[in-house]
Structure 1
Amino acid sequence: MSRGNELKLSTKTRATTLSVALASTLALSACGASNETGNTGGGDSGSDGLSGTLVGAGASSQQAAMQGWAAGYSRVQPDVTVNYDPVGSGGGREQFLAGGTDFAGTDSALKEEELTEAAERCGDTGVFQLPNYISPIAVIYNLEGVDELNLSPATVAGIFDQKITTWNDPAIAADNPDATLPDQAITPVNRSDESGTTENFTEYLAAAAGGAWPHEPSGDWAVPGGEAAQGTSGVVSAVRAGNGSIGYADLSQAGNLGVANIRVGEEFVTPTPEAAAAVVENSESAGDEGEYNFAIELARDTTSSGEYPIVLISYHVGCIEYEDQETADLVKDFMSYVISEDGQQAAADAAGSAPISDGLREQAQSAIDAITAAA
């Protein structure tokens, strides 16, 4: 599908878990599905029985999904290894643009200056940006005695801007009239590293909370003080360790922590893959540079019933033209598996993500089909 069309996303249409430390390289034994297109994955690379190593780095939010993808992929091509280092979106983009990896995982699309760098890395054919992972960002909390928590956008903004500092603040009480809220200090926890999750979260706050969030959206946390932690797992660990703590993380990583319901219009919506998919469905295309730049402009300020707007879309970024045929074949085949129905189900099983729509799959396949090696 050409980028010249303004895309309205459609519902024509997101395993075995490997144990990995976040700070270390996620070394995954993986392989491509067969040559066939279809539900079993595998690309049109023209190669059965691929072998070699594919190197990626980036968003820690994709860690569980990457484990699911790798486990499913390895069942058909055991001679391919996929190494994915969950260093965070910023680090992943930097490594890819510097030529250190074959692809990047990122929770925010490449910015204008990064697209310029990508042209230097990949040549005139440019890059692909595929929205292959869709998941809610949960507002996670640890508050003894409070099993359910409702928060309006302005209340979330006030908490993370450190203007609302106790759990029995009138703003929180107004959102939870039937709850018994303790007179206890709130400890907000944010990411210490440059993070696509942070950028998505602050984009939501800027769009939905109005003047309650006076900061520009950014992958770097703008509010001094509070508690900072490295990576998704670091935020989750910090919230789990402190009664009265609150943070934000990919829903797949929330575990047994409390997860807040967020006001959307006249209702409080629980983050679910279905609610995340609903808001993506009703969002517009944002990619305006490059034929295979499939970035999405999310409707963060939606008031529609059943839509959850704090959504993370994590992209895979790579070159349309690689220097050698082996890398081109590996990237082509692995990405074909990732977007397949089987691949998306593997991610959903491992990470609770929302499967991409058929429309997004067809769009992504057009980019994957274009991947080639330099003559």
Structure 2
Amino acid sequence: MKFSSVARVSVVAAITALALTSCAANEGSPSASGSASDSPAASNLSGELVGVGASSQGTAQTTWGAGFQTANEKVTVNYDPSGSGAGRKAFIAGGAAFAGSDSALSDEELAGSFGTCKADTKAIDIPVYISPIAVIFNVDGVKDLNLDAATLAGIFSGKITQWNDPAIVALNKDAKLPDAKINAVHRSDASGTTKNFADYLNQNAPDVWTEKPADDFPYTGGEGAQGTSGVVDAVTNGTNMIGYADASRAGKLGVVKVKVGDKFVGYSAEAAAAVVAESPLVEGRGANDLAIKLDRKTTDATHYPIVLVSYAIACETYKDPAQGTLTKAYLEYITSEAGQKAAAEKAGNAPLSADLSKKVATAVGSIK
């Protein structure tokens, strides 16, 4: 198995030199499952595969990279978890074979050109990772915390600033909430996790969260932190903190139960996957573009609405056929039953459903 420590990719425009470190260097060193059935079949593939993007995929990409390299000893997989926005920019500029993104390509991005792709062809969004977003907290004297969408929107927009605010007290009658300032942490980088979190707030509390969901955090208050790790570190090491992060990174921090219908619900991979299963594809896109329009207004307490679908963004047809072959093989592995199982064991994400897996297999199979 090979893990190169740094791979440098030259890209145009704003990205002139992007340092890319391997999965293992970026997110620790979990390996793929030890059983042969959990690794991709051996092949004669060779070369370097560069991905850039969502830090939410960090643990999964480490696991996938290890499994793929074990079966393909002449391949090096490098994934830089520098954020969804950075990943899409690098891919569009031609500096990565694929992007990992918690946001699908926008209409504006799809209308442009892609440096990695063959001229006059487009990129496609392929779901590879489904995970709940945990609202994490570290508050003196508080072990359990219930919040609804309107209260969360008030906290992160800066309208609710004290932990013993009446809106929070009303939802937590048995908690000893401190008379202390709320320190709310958000992503400082362009983040699909932010966009998904904001989309939940905007769908369920539009009178409070009035800004359109976007990768950039829209309000000026609170504390910004770089990447998933930055948010988790800030909440862990601060006082009276709250933030949001991919659930795989929640660790031992307190996790908010959110109100769904008339109950308060904790996250689970299954509850998050239930929301995805009932959400339609975005209309008006190519047959193999599988961007999902998440419906987060559920009142079913078996569902968890703060969920992200993270994509691998790849070319329909690659400018370099060898890169197309390598990317296609890698995506076939990570979206296979074995690849999804390996990631779920390490990251706790929800494997793709049978119905979505069929669509994904068709989309990946179309890559040239």
State TM-score, norm by structure 2.
Answer: 0.88
Q: 1:192 aligns with which of 185, 188, 193?
A: 188
Aligned residue number for residue 53 of structure 1: 48
Paired residue for 1:228?
224
The one of 134, 138, 141 equivalent to 1:142 is 138
Partner of 2:29: none
Is residue 2:56 matched to residue 1:74? no
Contact map agreement 1:167 1:184 (CA 8 A) in 2: yes
- The corresponding residue for 2:359 is 363
- Counterparts of 1:281-360 in structure 2 under 5 Å? 281-360=277-356
CA distance in 1, matches of 2:364, 2:130: 19
Residue 252 of structure 2: aligned partner: 256
2:254 pairs with 1:270: no
Match of 1:106 in 2: 101
CA distance in 2, matches of 1:357, 1:297: 16
Aligned: 1:87 with 2:82: yes
Check conservation: 2:142, 2:176, Cα contact below 8 A.
Answer: yes
Residue 25 of structure 1 and its aligned partner are, at CA, apart by: 3.1
Residue 116 in structure 1 maps to residue 111 in structure 2: yes
Residue 247 (str. 1) matches residue 247 (str. 2): no
TM-score (normalizing by structure 1): 0.87
Offset at residue 225 of structure 1 (A) = 2.2
Change (3 A) 1:307 1:196: same
Contact preservation (8 Å) 1:276, 1:354: yes
Q: Could you tell me how far 1:216 is from its partner in structure 2?
A: 1.6
Distance in 1 between residues matched to 2:166 and 2:232, nearest whole Å: 27
Q: Deviations over 1:53-110 (max 9, x none)?
A: 0011011111011011112222211221111111111110001001111000001010
1:97 match: 92
Which deviations, in whole Å up to 9, do the C-alpha atoms of 1:120-141 show, x marking residues without a partner? 7523442221111000111111
- Greater mean alpha carbon deviation, residues 323-332 or residues 346-355: 323-332
Distance (whole Å) between structure 2 residues aligned to residue 42 and residue 322 of structure 1: 22
Q: Report the identity percentage.
A: 50
Contact 1:68 1:349 in 2 (8 A): no
CA contact (8 A) 1:41 1:341 kept: no
- Measured in 1, the distance between the counterparts of 2:141 and 2:337 equals 41
Q: Distance in 1 between matches of 2:265 and 2:114?
A: 41
Amino acid at match of 1:303: T
Q: Describe the superposition over 1:135-167 as per-residue Cα deviations: whole angstroms up to 9, x where unpaired.
A: 011111101221111101111011111111111
Provide the secondary structure at the position in 2 that maps to 1:328. helix
Is contact 1:28-1:81 (8 Å) kept? Answer: no
The AA in structure 1 aligned to 2:87 is G
Residues 317 and 118 of structure 1: is their aligned pair in 2 closer, same or farther, counting only changes over 3 Å?
farther
SS at match of 1:308: coil
Distance in structure 1 (CA, Å) of the matches to 2:115 and 2:85: 18
The answer as to whether partners of 1:41 and 1:339 remain within 8 angstroms in 2 is no
CA root-mean-square deviation: 2.4
**Paired residues of 2:123 and 2:315 also in contact (CA < 8 A):** yes
| Residues 1:163 and 1:28: Cα distance change in structure 2 (over 3 Å) | closer
Query: Which segment drifts farther, 123-132 or 139-148?
Result: 123-132
Residues 274, 237 of structure 1: alpha-carbon distance in 2 compared, 3 angstrom cutoff: same
Letter in 2 for 1:117: G
1:253: Cα distance to partner?
1.0
Specify the alignment match of 1:64 in structure 2: 59
CA contact (8 A) 1:40 1:337 kept: no
Contact 1:240 1:257 in 2 (8 A): yes
Conservation of the 8 A alpha-carbon contact between 1:196 and 1:219: yes
